[in-house]
Chain A
Amino acid sequence: MAICPNCGALNQAGSTTCVQCGKPMEVIPSWLELLLARYGETMPTFEGILVKRAPSIAPTEPFTAQRASSSTAQLSTSTELEDEKLLNEIEKLKRSIKEQPAETQQPEETTVSAALPTASKGVDDWLAELRALQEKAALDSTPAMPSEAGALEAAQQAPYEVLPGEEDSSPSPEFLGETTPSESPGITQAGPPAPSIEERLGMLVTPPDTAESVPENSAPEWLRELGLVQPEQPPAPSSGDSVQASETLGPSPVAEADITGEPSGSPPDEEIPDWLKRLIAISSQIPESPPPSEVAEPMQALAHEEAETPPVAEPTPGEPLPDWLRELEAIQTTQLSTTMPPEGEEITPPRFEERATISAEEIFIPPLPKVEEGTVPTAQQEEPSPTVGEEHPAEWLAELEELIERPPTSQPTPFPVEEEVPDWLRELAAEKPEAKTEPQATVAQETPQPEPAELPEWISQLRPTERIAEMPPAEPIATPLEETAPTSGQDVIETLRARLGIPQVPDVEGAEMFHEIVSEPAETTLTPVLEEVEPTPQRNSITVIIWALVFAAILLGIAILSLALLARIQEMLGEVAFQHFLNTPAAAGLVASLEQFRKPITAIRQGDVVLLSIDYTPATAAEMQPLASVVLHDLLERRARVLTVSLQPEGAPLAQRLLDETDRPFPYGKHTLNLGYLPGEAIGVRSLARLPDRQLYAPIGDACQSLGECPGWHDIRGIENVALFIAIADSGDSVRWWIEQLPVLSPNELPLLAAVSAAALPTVRPYLIPASAAPSRLSGLIGGMMATAAYEVYSGRPGRALNMVAAQSAAHLGLVAVALAGIFAGIRSRTGHC
């Protein structure tokens, strides 16, 4: 049973309006309070309006994975980042409307930051406040209605359709579409001088004629920017318009899902999606390490949310409550017995209600900077994120405004059903003739109830033992599923979701995952990460020794096996077999590419300058060094002068290593020079325009520090004096930079060759174009160990590549065998023979 905050009459549990006085029994939704608080607005005092529906706080509500999924699915990092984005948008918005001065701060009980415990506020504090509010609610026989109710009732004039029997489940965002002429009960203003939330929302939904009578500055700037202040609210929802809106603003999973909805005009019960609640939770300065009581709250909130989902099964009416809940119930009954019947477990401090509503997401939200208790957070406290959308907030808000002017949609919404609704809105709903409150029991009969879930052990351990007992227990009340269309408030949410790219995530998998997580024992869940990560030094050393021994044994075995097979492998696949292979038609392609590559090299005359780019690192030197070596030898044997450069910092010493190898017959300085590292990738290529000024990587005395200073190289005045360019690269990008930038450096037809790794070969292959087809400097391309081995054979200098042919062939065979095993395993797994 529920007690009316206005007249104290006894009502059915879950009733949204009083059967006696017709006043609503709800409070301001937490998200609205929080939103106002974020904008520095003050909130009206609602000390007397403390009646809440039981399901919101019912700790005995079933906690099943299905409902928890909506929380869990939003736990991903991306979602948190999106929350931050949205927060930053709000911060920006606030900054943009800074001209509207922040109004007088409300008493601590009415501000959002006070309503939510901060990090400095432990469980005792907020529970004490909770108790105080509870007692206050119990003693308040005639709760004061805020004076803004007049403005709100004026808002009831707006056309609005409510299906019979659905008004119970049609709370908050209905205020966007529901307007009624003011019939203020004449309650004196008890709130602050600043315009309260009811006034703003009244203005927001006032019809054109009424809105004109309201001073323009009476509507807060933020509401007008949000587009909530409308001269005229559209009447019945239209699914077509909704679809159009969703298409206009980009794909929205919700909007798409709503297309098939019924054309019902009834508003939803809950119009605040989870992500927005989580956003609100974030914006209310969640303590970095929540007090133990907050661990229990999320469970209640989850239980509350569970009731809003398609229930799994009918709950057993006589299902026993947990002990601690029974204690709670007993204490609550005793406390309230002086002012209300024993069934009045639905009286709840609004603060707790807010916490219970939003805390499901809070436990997973990264902590935000703490804010002093009782203060309203300001936009300056948070750094705006650089990852917000491209447009200024005002632009998307303008789009929002346009969207809100469209008729609300009428599709079913997947959002939760129950949500806090301000009393004044409940009152509006109650005054409508068709908005008759259906008994909650009827709804409960029609709706199957979810199964109660077991609380994990570690959560039970964290449950407050004494203070929590003062919280009002609530019986599980069935809540009807949301089947009605979203109103214009829904559009706001959908627009926000679409604009900010917040996806609507599926529920079930996330719920299962969440259930697994919370079901884990406390030892694993709550163990600090540092302790898990840091192994003991003793274990480390033992592990290292064991691993080293095992690894050495494995390697030794491989080596012995290889030795045993080496002779046979070498005979079958070694040098001789490869040379024989080169003489077969099967090697025609390899030989042709090699001959094409060598053609410009064989055309080199004595003394010609060849620029060799060593674009690889020690990581790939095993593959590239033999290739570079055989090319370099080929060039030097034709009496060419070779300059080396590198686009990699570690390429310069590798080039020096190459030149040192050929130093005996072809001395460094006379036949070869290393011009070192060219920083900046493509920029480095173009920096070769100052070729004579290039410093040598290994200067030869003081007389030969740069290319232009070295004797025997004075004829090199620029890149135009280079006869051939060869890129020896382990990546396609390096070759591409040369291909793209070299023609600018050298307008004459400087031929370009590329010797690349096998991995880079396919990416460079498209640049090998016949000269008749397109202008391309690349006139030859080879790559991979086999091409290197072939080059060694053709140049008559057998080297490392030829030695590796056998092993390479064997490795390829082995890999193909593994591939076939994988294919076979895949077939077996598909046919069920696992």
Chain B
Amino acid sequence: MSAETIIAAILTFMIWSYVLGDNPAFRIAEHLLVGTAAGYVVIVAWFHVIQPALHEMWSQPSLATALPFVLCALLVVRKWPSMRPWAAASLALLVGVGSALAIGGTLFGTLWSQVLATASLSLNPADFSGSQMFLTSNFFWQNLAILIGTIGTFCYFAFRVRPGGPLRDLRAALIRFWSGIGLWMIMMTLGAFFANAAMSRFTLLIDRVQWLLGIFGLR
């Protein structure tokens, strides 16, 4: 058994000791992990993002290559209150680009595709094996269930505002109906989410246990 394997095993035990409650061993490992991870991430960012950009700036000096570092410098001077309004420009660029990407991506990548996918669920009897047979088609009922479930879940999240106007009671009843369906769908979904999350976590635990058994020759 190599030294590094022993180190890794000890650190694993220190982390797992949290099962018995918060204790100094866990806290030591926790802080060690945070410190190491932060240092490692910064090293990766420096050598793989910042350094190439700096190299580009030195090799091809221009406003385009220098602008990123001007903005980075503005981030640093944010510490001084008088410079804060100017320093916000770099954050503004980040937020502006991020918002634009979020809008465009959500619009075309999620909203449009999901709405189309839901709208394309056919309930037309002609699309099934004959006008008298669609009620016996699994796909018909499946499409209907997906449609109702999607609308219900969406209503549960999107229409929590108390309606007004002359037909408010009717609207409230409709929203209550759809929200009830949505709640049921959400609980089903969360049940599946929970099971799959448990599966993922057990995979991680099994891997660690098998690794430990392996290094101790028990497997």
Contacts and interface: CB of A to CB of B under 8 A. Distances in A.
Interface of A: 540, 543-544, 547-548, 550-552, 555, 558-559, 562-563, 619-620, 622-623, 649-650, 652-653, 676-677, 679-680, 682-683, 686, 695, 697, 706, 730, 736-737, 739-741, 743-744, 757-759, 761-762, 766-767, 769, 772-776, 784-785, 800, 803-804, 807-808, 811-812, 815
Contacts of A769: 113, 116-117
B58 interface: no
B104 A622 contact: no
Contact of A757 (B113, B120, B200, B207): B200
B202 A811 contact: yes
A559 B117 CA distance: 49
B113 A652 contact: no
A803 B211 CA distance: 12
A544 B196 contact: no
Contacts of B199: 758-759, 784-785, 808, 812
A3 B109 CA distance: 80
A543 B23 contact: yes
Q: Interface SS of chain A: helix, strand, loop or mixed?
A: helix
Nearest to A739: B109
Most buried by A among B16, B198, B207: B207
B101 A741 contact: yes
Nearest to A774: B116
Contact of A807 (B101, B105, B198, B210): B210
A747 to B, nearest CB: 12
A544 B24 contact: yes
Contacts of B201: 759
Interface in B167-219: 189, 192-193, 196-210, 212-213, 216, 218
Interface in B10-66: 13, 16-17, 19-20, 23-25, 37, 40-41, 44-45, 48-49, 52
A695 B24 CA distance: 42
Given A562-B209, A804-B210, A811-B205, 15 more contacts: A544-B24, A547-B20, A550-B20, A552-B13, A559-B212, A649-B41, A695-B52, A736-B110, A739-B109, A743-B108, A762-B192, A775-B113, A784-B199, A804-B207, A812-B198
A804 B52 CA distance: 41
A683 B97 contact: yes
A823 to B, nearest CB: 13
A548 B25 contact: yes
Given A550-B20, A773-B120, A766 B114 contact: yes
B203 A623 contact: yes
A563 B218 contact: yes
Nearest to A695: B52
Given A679-B49, A682-B98, A803-B210, A741 B113 contact: no
B112 interface: yes
A776 to B, nearest CB: 5
Which of A543, A743, A759, A807 is most buried by chain B, counting CB atoms within 10 A of its CB? A759
Contact of A740 (B23, B110, B206): B110
A81 to B, nearest CB: 24
Contacts of A758: 196-197, 199-200, 203
Contacts of A736: 109-110
19 contacts: A548-B13, A558-B209, A559-B218, A562-B213, A622-B206, A652-B48, A677-B49, A679-B49, A682-B98, A695-B48, A740-B105, A740-B110, A773-B117, A776-B113, A776-B117, A784-B203, A803-B210, A807-B209, A812-B198
Contacts of A762: 189, 192-193, 196
Nearest to B211: A622
A686 B101 contact: yes
Contact of B25 (A547, A686, A811): A547
A551 B112 CA distance: 53
Interface of B: 13, 16-17, 19-20, 23-25, 37, 40-41, 44-45, 48-49, 52, 97-98, 101-102, 104-106, 108-110, 112-114, 116-117, 120, 189, 192-193, 196-210, 212-213, 216, 218
A697 B44 CA distance: 9
Contacts of B24: 540, 543-544
Contacts of B202: 808, 811-812, 815
Given A736-B109, A740-B105, A762-B192, A784 B200 contact: yes
A652 B110 CA distance: 27
A772 to B, nearest CB: 8
A812 to B, nearest CB: 7
Nearest to B101: A682
A613 B198 CA distance: 25
Contacts of B120: 772-774
A547 B210 CA distance: 22
Contacts of B117: 766, 769, 773-774, 776
Contacts of A773: 116-117, 120
B34 to A, nearest CB: 13
Nearest to A540: B24
A695 B47 CA distance: 10
Nearest to A778: B113
B41 to A, nearest CB: 4
A686 B109 CA distance: 14
- Listed residue (B44, B114, B208, B212) with the most chain A CB atoms within 10 angstroms of its CB: B44
Contacts of A695: 48, 52
A686 B40 CA distance: 24
A652 B41 CA distance: 10
Given A550-B20, A758-B200, A808-B199, A744 B113 contact: no
What 5 A-B pairs have minimum CB-CB distances, sorted nearest first? A740-B109, A740-B105, A622-B207, A774-B116, A773-B120
Contacts of A807: 206, 209-210
Nearest to B146: A766
B143 to A, nearest CB: 11
A645 B40 CA distance: 17
A555 B23 CA distance: 18
A683 B120 CA distance: 31
Contact of B20 (A551, A563, A686, A730): A551
A800 B203 CA distance: 11
Contacts of A784: 196, 199-200, 203
Contacts of B19: 551
Given A740-B110, A741-B101, A785-B203, A815 B198 contact: yes
A543 B48 CA distance: 43
Given A548-B13, A736-B109, A800 B207 contact: yes
Contacts of B193: 759, 762
Nearest to B207: A622
A626 to B, nearest CB: 9
B109 A743 contact: yes
A547 B196 contact: no
A807 B207 CA distance: 10
A706 B59 CA distance: 15
Given A649-B44, A758-B196, A808 B16 contact: no
Contacts of B110: 736, 739-740, 767
Contacts of A619: 204
